Amino acid sequence: MEHRDSGVAAVYQVRPISPEEHTRFLADHQTASFLQNPRWPAVKQEWQAQSLGVFDADAGPDSAPVAATLVLFRRLPVPAAVPLLGNKRLAYLAEGPVMDPVVVDLELLLPPLIAYLKTSGAFLIRMGLPSVLRRWEAKEVRRALAAGENTSIEELDPLEIDPAGAAQAEKWQRELRALGFKAPAPSTDFEAGQPQFQARIPLTDDAGAVLPIEDVLARMDQSSRRQTKKSTRSELEVSVGGESDLAAWHALYSETADRDDFTGRPLSYFQDMYRELNASPLSECTLYLAHFQDQLLAAAIYVRQGQFAWYVYGASSSEERKRYAPRALQLRQIEDSLAAGCRWYDLGGLSPSLDPEYPLAGLTRFKTTMGADVVQTLGEWDYPVNPLLAKAFNLYMSRR
């Protein structure tokens, strides 16, 4: 697909690219999420997937893409043989497209991308551009949560962030609205997809230099620092497991799911995740284990790609709690992230609610006491190709 804008020289074309070409592109974009890794679809096997490249039409047939994205497709929950509806699909771009906003004009890139996805049967395009709107310091968020005087993180004064980055995110918001995209609805709960509010521990200073471990630990509250120090004196053996240890991981994970009342994923999911992300030259997936004698007390799954590291899953036993095995694993993940030169250690999503009694308040409390700042991303925006089907699909998902 091609788009030409009157009076503007840039002409972008969208076409499929191979996983190898996609991998080469991402190697030059060190902050891209592992959700954009072309090996990721082998983990999300219930989805179909395609790597798309965006090319400057004037750069020649052998030019490299100026932007790229992994698109996951999921059919409507109706039989494929149903006329008109059976071939309709949700097109999902998690943390994409990946590009240099200084080089690529989003306003010109999106029309040919939308046109391509329409021809692929998309009834709804859901896109979460990687960006940061605002950021709040960990200690200010946990102080406000303890005080209970505010209802939302958005009421607090944010930290100063890169003005150019903030201006770029605001420009993208305007362009998305002008093109017909719908902003994510305000919510204190977790919606399907990637939460708009994320907890991230900064690992570099303002000049980009990697921080010493002492500075990162100093971001924690007093209780977290004390428990982390105790974990190093608790006779724990912290080790890196292999694929053969995933069964033990899953047994502990299932115990955690039963105790904390959430629906866990099957062992095969973690086996696929471990194999696929470690098969990519871009990423690594690590299983950390904490034993006391022969007893597995805690385990964690960690992913690193480029300059980002993620604490993706954790599990713990209800035994020997005073040895603080999960804290020992967090410390190890932070140390390894620093050693790899990462900019951020991501603890995942949280709710923007500051109500101390809110069901998700404990998650916000834990992540900020670990020293994680709260960043507000652009969130996931919807482009309803077919508004009626998009509305019906969102209603179906909200009732699942």
For each of the domains in the chain, give its residue range(s) and CATH number, in order of start. 2-128+380-398 (3.40.630.30), 134-159+184-376 (3.40.630.30)
Q: 318-333: per-residue pLDDT in tens?
A: 999 999 999 999 999 9
Q: Which of 2-6, 94-98, 211-215 has the lowest mean pLDDT?
A: 2-6
Inter-residue contact 246 to 274 (CB < 8 Å): yes
Statement: residue 254 has pLDDT above 90: yes
User: Average pLDDT of 192-196?
Assistant: 84
Statement: residue 5 has pLDDT above 60: no
Buried b (16+ CB within 10 A) or exposed e, 1-26: bebeeeeeebbbbbeebeeebbbbbb
- Identify the helix (H) or strand (E) that includes residue 258: helix 246-260
Amino acid letter, residue 57: A
User: Average pLDDT of 258-286?
Assistant: 96
For 272, what's the count of Cα atoms within 13 Å in the CB-facing half-sphere?
A: 13
Q: 277-305: per-residue pLDDT in tens?
A: 999 999 999 999 999 999 999 999 999 99
Q: 155-181: per-residue pLDDT in tens?
A: 999 997 777 777 888 899 999 999 999
pLDDT at res. 189 = 80
Identify the residue with better confidence: 338 or 262. 338
Identify the residue with better confidence: 3 or 26. 26
Identify the residue with better confidence: 242 or 85. 242
**What is this structure's pTM?**
0.92
Inter-residue contact 297 to 323 (CB < 8 Å): yes
What distance in Å separates the CA atoms of residue 103 and residue 155, rounded to the nearest whole number?
34
